[in-house]
Amino acid sequence: MNKSVGRLVSILYRKNQVYLNQALKPLDITATEMSSLLCLYHSDGVTQDEMSHYLLIDKAAIARAIVSLLDKGLIIKEKDDVDKRANRIYLSIKGKQLETSIRSILKGWNDLLIEDIDPKDVETMFHVLEKMVLRLEVLDLKPEGAKHD
């Protein structure tokens, strides 16, 4: 097979990042900051390491996003009750209020991508992409040490 999943996925991902960075400007957050917030919407109170692992974004990039989100008052950081060395990240009220706007931007992007494509084919694509993601879960690829640039 001459076609490359990696190439298509890379193009879509980068276009996705560019689109999101533009679309998110009115909310004053970047695509990586949005991913961090989405992680918290899914599971409030994670540590930075857990966030890095969940999002597969390296620790340095997550650390930069956290500093910026703290600065913007969208999250708060608290020492873990048990492990005093660990910090847990929580959404602030302002951070929680952004969720609807973020979801709506993501939905707009999704709708733009799939409009005019046969819904049955879109369904098959989702099915195949999900199968590939599940397969990769088993491989347990970790971002540590990998450059995310």
Residues lying near a second copy in the complex (CB under 8 A) are found at 1, 3-6, 8-22, 30-32, 35, 55-57, 61, 64-65, 106, 109-110, 112-114, 117, 121-122, 124-133, 135-136, 139, 141-143, 146-149
Q: In angstroms, what is the minimal distance from the CB of 25 to a second copy? A: 10
Q: What are the CB-based long-range contacts (under 8 Å, 24+) for 43-51?
A: 44/90, 44/91, 45/88, 45/89, 45/90, 46/88, 46/89, 47/80, 47/86, 47/87, 47/88, 47/89, 48/87, 48/89, 51/89
Q: Which is nearer to a second copy, 12 or 83 (CB)?
A: 12
Q: Which is nearer to a second copy, 54 or 86 (CB)?
A: 54
Q: Which two tokens stand for residue 79?
A: 């020492």
Q: Which is nearer to a second copy, 72 or 88 (CB)?
A: 72
Q: In angstroms, what is the minimal distance from the CB of 101 to a second copy? A: 15
